[in-house]
Amino acid sequence: MTKRLASKKHYRIALLGDFKEDSPRGLQIIGRKIHKGFVRNGHDVFLFSYRQHLLAQSPFAGKSLARKLAKKKTDKLCCKLLKDYQPDLVVLLAYRTIDSETISELIKVLPDTYFAGWYPDQLDGFSDESLKTNKCLDAFMATGAGLHLDEIAKMSGNLPTAFIPNPCDPDIEKPYPQGDSPVEDLFFTGKYSHRNYSHDGSREPLLKQLAKEYGLIIHGNGENPAILGSEYLRSISNSKIAISININNSFNMYHSDRIINYLASGAFVLSSYVPDSELLFVDHKHLRYFHSNEQCMELIKYYLNHENERKMIAKAGMDHVHKTFACQRIANDIIEFLITGTYNQPFKYIVEQKICNQ
């Protein structure tokens, strides 16, 4: 019989991830929002920031060296602290940092604990080692759906699997007064490409065209510095149009957390369309989708000249995200899925289980 999380009102939950407590980037990472959502819902939460403990245990700086020299010490510390905490639920948030060996050691000292994983990145980057890790878990969640998620669930031993989108934090992802942040006609943060993922060839040409024709400053692309923390949120809030485009737009319902950051902060968003996007955000109501780079250019020209319409859509998009994707709501969806095998959202996507894993 498929294993479910035992139902109770309040849980002890351990989150294993990289919470970037040494960087202003930590303000916007998913793990911080999930932590907040669980706590606001009445659960007790213990954080183990694996990368930071790994570096602290290593005699030399650098993650690669630390993994070679300090992994065993870090795993031992993790096991010791979590054994003392005795969580009902462990959620893995850092697949690239924490491997199957670490999870296996934790299961030995926490045999009655439920283990779940959540993968926030493009699904074609899911590695063989991540599949190996999944086979240690009781459930899996990802920010993408469709055939790729189906296949990962199958290769993970028919693990109970669900699409769970990125959350927002309405307390800090909201409109800000202009202050010292400049008003940018167009806003985008990120790189032209990522070596770990497949590309559809649309993002880099579009961004370069926007830089040439509209003076778009591409924050964090290696040419311009990234903007982080509250400066990032204020800059989104003070932009006229925020551009959301993945490096590959063929994965069902997968958008990077960029789109949630933008919408929640009150920006008007032009987003590349991905399959089933309308289950998340409605075109003309919450944002505008484009199906080609040429259409994106046309929409930019139109909405820069239609301020009232732009602001009306931006407000509706923000209200929708603050209600439907708030960290408390998403944290509740996670618990509901782990207990029942499903959850109540219009974008619900559950991989059907053909073979029970227990």
- Which CATH number fits the domain that encloses residue 99? 3.40.50.11010
Structure tokens at 190: 């990120």
* CB-CB contact of 10 with 42 (8 Å): yes
Q: What's the domain count of the chain?
A: 2
Q: Which of 280, 279, 260 is nearest to 269 (CA)?
A: 260
* Structure confidence at residue 180 (pLDDT): 64
* Structure confidence at residue 355 (pLDDT): 38
DSSP 8-state assignment for residue 164: -
**Averages of pLDDT over each 10 residues, the chain, 358 residues:** 88 94 76 96 97 88 82 96 98 94 97 97 92 97 96 94 97 86 84 80 92 89 82 92 94 95 97 96 98 97 97 98 98 98 96 54
Q: Are residues 247 and 126 in the same domain?
A: no
Does the model's pTM come out above 0.75?
yes
Q: Are residues 263 and 343 in the same domain?
A: no
User: Does residue 206 lie in a domain region?
Assistant: yes
Q: Are residues 259 and 142 in the same domain?
A: no
Q: Are residues 340 and 299 in the same domain?
A: no
Structure tokens at 290: 């484009």
Q: Are residues 317 and 340 in the same domain?
A: no
User: Does residue 319 lie in a domain region?
Assistant: yes
Q: Are residues 158 and 40 in the same domain?
A: yes
Sign of CA dihedral 157, 159, 163, 164: negative
User: Does residue 6 lie in a domain region?
Assistant: no
Q: Are residues 98 and 189 in the same domain?
A: no
Give the CA angle between residues 62, 21, 24 to the nearest 5°: 100
Name the one residue in this structure whose structure tokens are 């319409």. Answer: 309
* Structure confidence at residue 222 (pLDDT): 75
Q: Are residues 283 and 334 in the same domain?
A: no
User: Does residue 224 lie in a domain region?
Assistant: yes
Residues near 25 by beta carbon (within 8 Å), at least 6 away in sequence: 228, 229
Give one word for 155, left, alpha or beta, with left for phi > 0 and alpha for psi -120 to 50. Answer: alpha
CB atoms within 10 A of CB 112: 9
DSSP 8-state assignment for residue 348: -
User: Does residue 79 lie in a domain region?
Assistant: yes
DSSP 21-42: TTSGGGGG-HHHHHHHHHHHTT
* Structure confidence at residue 149 (pLDDT): 96
Q: Are residues 156 and 196 in the same domain?
A: no
> Which run of H or of E encompasses 102?
helix 100-109
Give CA–CA dist 278/255, Å, rounded: 12
b/e per residue 78-96 (b: at least 16 CB within 10 A): bbeebeebebbbbbbbbbe
Q: Are residues 251 and 111 in the same domain?
A: no
Q: Which of 159, 142, 164, 152 is nearest to 3 (CA)?
A: 159
* CB-CB contact of 289 with 261 (8 Å): no
What's the CATH code of the domain at 272? 3.40.50.2000
Q: Are residues 284 and 333 in the same domain?
A: no
* CB-CB contact of 124 with 148 (8 Å): yes
User: Does residue 68 lie in a domain region?
Assistant: yes
User: Does residue 102 lie in a domain region?
Assistant: yes
Structure tokens at 8: 């109770």
Q: Are residues 109 and 246 in the same domain?
A: no
Half-sphere exposure of 91 (CA within 13 A, CB side): 26
Whole domain around residue 253: which residue ranges?
184-324
User: Does residue 356 lie in a domain region?
Assistant: no
